[in-house]
Structure 1
């Protein structure tokens, strides 16, 4: 009887866990706005004596001017090169001395900087962030700009021009979005634009976008909110507000026809990319397509993996993802062929599996597997102050409300198999997509014709 009672106990624990998860999820926080327009979001978590300081500037590559691409990413580098009261190199040195770490990243819609460090060193992170927000120009020079320009150019050579398949993202963006659309160029920018940028252009970009009224500061971790906001005021209040920043808008567009592209590259195996137009992040249809991507290609039990890699053994790997951004989304399927296999064979199987999904809803088990994985991902993110800070930033920027965690959690739980099929039918139209074949040089016959 012991195994029977053990099973009952495990079922009770599982049911209790499910009921616990049904409670509304939230990241408790307080929102402040300083006189200079800086938005401050504070989240108290006393689990460990650590704190994360996270600053999002609402500027990414989509805010750039034509012929001046790459500025947002260039600034991610310049921001670590010293400011009015911080010598070059000291940003990292000071943080490492107290056991902290830091980094930054740039996307089409925002630029992010963060520090994670012991809670008793919070003032150091606030000093460093306020100094480069308010006094970067005091330390910036044409020489420093030229130095970081060369670093970014070398990064582009390594990651785009000389890396196998590295040109794929740029090629897809240029052919997926129409000219004039803010997502038409790569985040890292173009070589000619980086070369042509003057020091005056860089100064203008900083003054316009790196102002407190275009930034959101999130502090998450072992803090006392009333004391922390006073610290924030101490370090940031004197920085003047900048001009009002207008967010980029995108002309409405629709992919018409199937656009087939072939690039011969220094690669060993051909790779296929299929790109479809989908909804923006956190908008209706985004979660459905996220689940569709996982049903198709996440894990060894996914449909495309089983067909292409395991059963037919014509692909080395396959993946799919929904990439929602502020101005729209892109659904991508990517598969690398095995030696001697033409990409037409891969496309045929991918189209067959997508076609099945558009006609017949996935099983309850398939959907539940993916939903459970997404729920676990969200819950795991809540274990870290750094992740929670980033979640508050993302919800504020893209959903307009930092208190959107429960809505994010719930939109997956509410999905039915028929929702996935309906969205796949609406967005995964083989007559409205970009098809990119990257093949070894001299092997154009392996591409989709």
Structure 2
């Protein structure tokens, strides 16, 4: 399963939002149903939302939150409750298609791992799929596939671990039984053979997606520089080989007892179901599971990078590449949505500033992207550009710095900000048309904003953003010096994943 590259599902994001490369999926993730709203409709709604008009076909009730748009083309009106054992449950009825998604978040990710235990959250995600007391080894997927499941997987990132399956509406009980059995009875099944087998799988994922992948270790180099040693985001979610090798079965059992408890989880049911019957099923299968110890949550904290760091990296790759990375405000903090908009202004389409200059006008880059990769404790804004043959990473950096200087000085204009808003809103409403995406969005809002029905407020972060606010976020967070610049140069005898040959750290 991937150590997720797609945590970011805010209305201010149309691209993956976790700031490390995702691992290759080790389990099935089948195609989702296509969205039902047509693009012209969503574009019209998106334009109306940030221009202040109201489309006549939209159906959401007025929001009680100041600043939230009064009319939305897609509803998120879910019911949130809690079982006596502390399990949070969110019910989202949507009868348009006869499918239902069960989406379970455990509030534990790689940031919650003890020192010397990097990779435990991701390793445990794998162990959870191998069987439990009443589910024999390697039959979890077989049960669901025979029932007609259209998506089955799990993901891990810095902040949480997620398990989900989309099934025909008459198979909801099966999905709830499977999830409850591994929450309540995993340790009755997990043994040394299961543990060692999945540890080998995770180590192989690391080799495949990091150590043997082009530019594969750059994300690790950048993370270690952006966040000081001891910071919860200093290491990658995939885990280090040394820590994985040092892990024992008892370590895994202790990790489960501390984190995989009802009071550290949120269960979302989204799609076509009868709410009364679903509530009875949740009580039946999850209610008897005992409450666990309270799990403390870490608090967001400002990350001050001590001046610019330059990493010179050699890799056995064909093309040079430059990464420019900044520590930025946490998910939903002031400036987070504005930096989403800034990323679209820079690289969101062929007329965007960096794409036009690097790819179209100068033709020195093969591609360029920018993203605000948001997480609970801090975020990362990153620009990545890959050179065309015959050009260097230094050339790309020079032009990118020129464009950033223009942006800091002159700011964004209303036209490009409007295009960014339209794209973001339309893309995210499309995403909400899928049962699996709705369920994950509800869990995201509940985790980060403590309200599964945060859609209106989230949209307002984008639609109410001003050019002045975006400009302030750029000047405050994307300073010229407080960043990590990574220059990758092709070299035949270097590892394909890259190796650092020189590090230059500047003073604040």
Aligned residues between the structures = 438
Match of 1:54 among 87, 103, 124: 103
Query: Structure 1 length as normaliser, TM-score?
Result: 0.94
Distance 2:197 2:357 in 1: 49
Conserved 8 A contact 1:207-1:242:
yes
**Shift in Å, 1:226:** 2.0
Runs of 4+ in 1 over 6 A off after TM superposition: 13-17, 446-449
**Shift in Å, 1:168:** 1.1
Distance 1:418 1:30 in 2: 37
Distance 1:421 1:251 in 2: 23
Distance 1:85 1:130 in 2: 10
Query: Structure 2 length as normaliser, TM-score?
Result: 0.83
Aligned equivalent of 2:476: 426
**Shift in Å, 1:249:** 4.0
Match of 1:73 among 108, 114, 122: 122
Distance 2:503 2:368 in 1: 16
Aligned equivalent of 1:93: 142
Conserved 8 A contact 1:344-1:447:
no
**Shift in Å, 1:102:** 0.7
Residue 181 (structure 1) aligned with residue 197 (structure 2): no
Residue 245 (structure 1) aligned with residue 280 (structure 2): no
Conserved 8 A contact 1:91-1:128:
yes
Distance 1:207 1:36 in 2: 14
Q: Relative to structure 2, which stretch is displaced further, 41-50 or 373-382? A: 373-382
Match of 1:214 among 251, 264, 288: 264
In the superposition, relative to structure 1, how do residues 250 and 401 fare at CA in structure 2: closer, same or farther (>3 Å)? closer
Match of 2:160 among 101, 110, 115: 110
In the superposition, relative to structure 1, how do residues 199 and 448 fare at CA in structure 2: closer, same or farther (>3 Å)? closer
**Shift in Å, 1:271:** 0.8
Distance 2:321 2:292 in 1: 46
Q: Which residues of structure 1 form unaligned runs of 5+?
A: 1-9
RCO (CA 8 Å, sep 6+): is it higher in 1 or 2? Answer: 2
Distance 1:197 1:67 in 2: 9
**Shift in Å, 1:209:** 0.5
Q: Which residues of structure 2 form unaligned runs of 5+?
A: 1-40, 59-68
Aligned equivalent of 2:402: 352
**Shift in Å, 1:342:** 2.1
Conserved 8 A contact 1:438-1:447:
no
**Shift in Å, 1:298:** 1.7
Distance 2:280 2:318 in 1: 58
For residues 34-49 of structure 1, what are the structure 2 equivalents within 5 Å? Answer: 34-49=83-98
Aligned equivalent of 1:227: 277
Higher helix share: 1
**Partner SS state of residue 19, structure 1:** coil
**Partner SS state of residue 301, structure 1:** coil
Distance 2:134 2:503 in 1: 57
**Partner SS state of residue 325, structure 1:** coil
Match of 1:286 among 336, 344, 363: 336
For residues 370-409 of structure 1, what are the structure 2 equivalents within 5 Å? Answer: 370-409=420-459
Aligned equivalent of 1:369: 419
Superposition RMSD in Å = 2.1
